[in-house]
Amino acid sequence: MTFVAYEVADKNIISKLFDNELTLINLANGQYFAAGGSAVDFWELAAVGAAPETVVEAIVTRYDASADVVRADIDRVAELFIQNGLIKTAAAKAININLPPPAAVKPWKAGWLEVYGDMKDLLLLDPIHDVEQEWPEAKKD
């Protein structure tokens, strides 16, 4: 099979954008992540099934940076997302994305991804994210 598109690696991964910073949580293993710069744009496009070239082309139109700079950064960011189990490559047909031109070109900000595990035990303890699991019984001494 040939890699033609990106996709979210697991259905247990959720994301939310807060003031240009992306927060991602893997509810299956309790890790959470923060991402910024071009990594936010990467996630937005990769998570819906865009092809690698489409991701680069779309990000080039959003930033004041050359295609070579964007491509190198997005390749690095994609590898970070793949290594951390957030995105995977797929043989499925890539979606066709027709993005409107940006209102204004932004100054270049290289992508970054930070990994946190300090709340892993709490996130895994919380049964709310698993709707098939019942609320745990309180221990009785």
pTM: 0.79
**pLDDT for the residue numbered 2:** 56
**pLDDT for the residue numbered 39:** 98
- Number of residues that this document lists for the chain: 141
- Residue found under tokens 């993005």: 99
Mean pLDDT by 10 residues, the chain (141 residues): 82 93 90 96 94 93 95 97 95 74 88 83 54 49 51
Phi and psi at residue 70, in whole multiples of 5°?
-65, -45
- Are 24 and 97 a contacting pair, CB within 8 Å? no
Query: Can you count the helices (H) and strands (E) in the chain?
Result: 4, 8
**pLDDT for the residue numbered 137:** 55
